[in-house]
Structure 1
Amino acid sequence: MAPCELNAVLAFTDDNKHYSEFHFGDWKSFVIWNQTGSDDDGVVLERGSSVRPTSRGNLLPALNDWISATFDTSLLRLARIHSLGDGVLVPHRDFVEFAAAPWTRVHVPLLTNRICLHSDGDTVFRMRPDEIWFLDASNLHSAINYSAGRRLNLCLDFDLGKLPIESVFNAGAGSTGHVVNRPEVVQRMPLGDSFQEELRSLAATLTLANFHQAVGLLSKVHFFRQAHIAEFFEWLPYVAEHSRDASLRSKADRYVRFLRDKRSVGERFTLQDEVQIGLDA
């Protein structure tokens, strides 16, 4: 990515808030191509029409030229740049709003470092700059960055219908050589015998006010310990069940459903409630 455009992305403000309940910490999303041309329109739809750069996207002519030269933009439905600072994506599945996964998702890392990690199922791996990744977003997945530098990732959604996945590329573009077939897998330490006791300790301090922080903490565990990403959906209800607030189990169950099982189009979830803490005079 051209240095001047990289700096432009790093200076972007007014990120899209459509999916804020899917992350904890410093995570931003910027739409650069969509069907309306509006910077504020970043909603994933079941079906769509042709796209064009947004006002923000027009600030990135070199990147736009590369997208147009590499991919069949007649099939492109949404292009975003995800900017991750010190934060984590909560484990989740995309496209559960729809009867079938409507779009094919492609990831292209633009800026990253060795301590930016991604997960899919039971695997934790690194995405390296300029690689082209096909990841099934309807599978459980997550990402984390615990460095001072930002991770920038180009996320492209295509409507292929029944076309083969290779149809995302322009004929003769010659970019399939960048497609990843041997990911750099990260080795992790065992979960440890004391983990269940650590969950109980977390439960003892869990409240409505810090529920979102517990979500963030539990979202990170599988990146550093040998655990399947799906275990997050066992840990969170367990911690809520063993807390001192019975209402937290209901909140945890609803959040699990929202992230993994079922949500309607446009449905939102309040991860961080407004809690007033009274102080004794």
Structure 2
Amino acid sequence: MNHIIVVNIGQTIKRRTSTKEAMSGAWKARGARQHDLLQSAEVVVGVVSNHIRGVYRVKGAAHLKDDNRYEWDLEDIPACAALVGHRLSPEGTYWKQGDGAGWKPMGTDEFDELLKKSQADRIQFGAHTLLLKPDGNLEIGLAPGYRADIVSTAPLANARERIEAVVVRLGESGAITTYQTIADMLGINATRSVARSITRNSTITAEQAARVIPSSFQTDNQWIAPTNEEGWSAPNGDERSRSTILIEAGLATALNSGDALIDDGAIITDPATLRRYLMV
């Protein structure tokens, strides 16, 4: 991720209907360097009291010339979902008491370190901590003198039902994941079992099934869906290739070879992050 801007939405979120709207602008630039930073921003991180509330990709920037401000058109980055709820490091980009800056640039290395930490770290929740494990269980760290009341709302579904729930939610989102990630998340021993369950489930559409891809698609830090994918079989007799479906969904770009370059910002390969993003 390059050209990252962190915006403090502590005040604007009170006047907007959503975190995304609060982060979109308008952010003021002073001097040529700030104009360049806001105009070239690729990723925006929104924070309240130094806690991350949202991470979005910038699709476009509009310069409000009469006021030297910028507004952004933003879209989700599912791969960064684990960042939400985590705290900025006081040693890096951070708002100290009395700091009135509306936004600050963040270095790529700092962002990558935050993302890496967020996928393994606990979220601070008041005086307590929470860790969502890949299998869906919670590890709760309670402050001295407190107790936790745990309520399980429903019996655990079978493997077919759990796979279906994940794939259907995936189809409603802007994310893509792998067979291995779902297998790890649900405690299923073989990715082949996940693939077979998806293909044989008539409830799952081709558009939903296409978002669960083999890990072998990753080559040299790129994810490429081949136009002639061996073994691909869409549910319900749909004859389109996976690459075609992903391109039509705006999740991949057609290459001259006929293959599809998948948007790496849409791909979630960490099981706990996938649970957080899909809320399953």
Q: TM-score, normalised by structure 1?
A: 0.32
Q: Which structure's CA Rg is the greater one? A: 2
TM-score by length of 2: 0.32
Q: Which has the higher contact order (CA 8 A, sep 6+)?
A: 1
